[in-house]
Amino acid sequence: MTGWAAKRFWTAATAEACDGGFTVRLDGRPVKTPAKALLVLPTQAMAEAIAAEWDAQTGVVRPDTMPATRAANSAIDKVTPLLDAVVDEISGFGGSDLLCYRAVDPPALVARQEAAWAPLLDWAAGAFEAPLVVTQGVIPVAQPAESLARLRAVVAGHSVFELAALHDLVAITGSLVLGLAVARGRLTPEEAFDLSRIDEHWQIEQWGEDEEAAEAEALRRQALLAAGRFFVLCG
């Protein structure tokens, strides 16, 4: 049986000011989240971006083509009621940050990781007073409790909308440091994604590219870039 899908019923989507911020209206009717909360947004730029996504729909509504709408819904419906848990989940990546786990060999890969990742760990150590320990291999290494506490405080300082974007920036890269580097403008989303894929790209250089893996990577890149754009819309 084919599932029900919403179809376009409106003529125009508009971004408008409302109590508490901005919203999107479809022919004057306010957009609501899946949990039926009013879509109240922090910036006009975000409202305009979401209105553009709604206006771009033709026929059946395709949520997969509306990343800003989905991120805003997540901020309101998921992050807001579970704020502490979301902060814990995001900051928890600091305890197992990708940048801290290095290859044992070959030497060329070890050198590539060091050249790419060490400057970012140095940046995080200075910017957040949160040095992290580097190890070789996959055996977990304990990180300084003080560093993890400071990183959690940094994460907790973001708005719920920023946290919705930061969650994807961190989860997709596997690195709290990379996610925060994008949030602070230290890296572009494109740079962060490439830095998170050093191991995979090394394997491609050695053995060639798998078509299915390439398609999966393209989707992950697209999602990360969308998260980066949404973070910019928050401020």
Check whether residue 53 and residue 91 sit in a common domain: no
Check whether residue 187 and residue 102 sit in a common domain: yes
Distance CA 110, CA 113 (A): 5
Average pLDDT over residues 82-107: 98
pLDDT band at 62 (very low <50, low <70, confident <90, very high): very high
Distance CA 98, CA 92 (A): 12
Check whether residue 103 and residue 186 sit in a common domain: yes
Check whether residue 140 and residue 199 sit in a common domain: yes
Check whether residue 46 and residue 118 sit in a common domain: no
Check whether residue 45 and residue 93 sit in a common domain: no
Check whether residue 56 and residue 87 sit in a common domain: no
pLDDT band at 221 (very low <50, low <70, confident <90, very high): very high
Domain membership of residue 103 (yes or no) is yes
CATH at 209: 1.10.3580.10
Distance CA 50, CA 53 (A): 5
Is residue 47 a contact partner of residue 10, using CB atoms and an 8 Å limit?
no
CATH at 24: 3.30.2180.10
pLDDT band at 209 (very low <50, low <70, confident <90, very high): confident
So what's the pLDDT on residue 2?
Answer: 46
Check whether residue 89 and residue 132 sit in a common domain: yes
Check whether residue 134 and residue 207 sit in a common domain: yes
Average pLDDT over residues 16-22: 97
Average pLDDT over residues 121-139: 97
The fraction of the chain above a pLDDT of 90, given in percent, is 94
pLDDT at 3 over 90: no
Check whether residue 45 and residue 128 sit in a common domain: no
Domain membership of residue 105 (yes or no) is yes
The residues, any chain, with a CB within 8 Å of residue 132's CB and separated by 6 or more, are 94, 97, 99, 100, 121, 124, 125, 143, 144, 147, 177
Domain membership of residue 74 (yes or no) is no
CA-only gyration radius of the chain, Å: 20
Check whether residue 122 and residue 224 sit in a common domain: yes
pLDDT at 228 over 90: yes
Q: What is the pLDDT of residues 136-181, one digit of tens each?
A: 998 999 999 999 999 999 999 999 999 999 999 999 999 999 999 9
Q: How many domains in the chain?
A: 2
Average pLDDT over residues 11-17: 97
Check whether residue 151 and residue 218 sit in a common domain: yes
Q: Give the domain extent around 55.
A: 13-62
pLDDT at 1 over 50: no
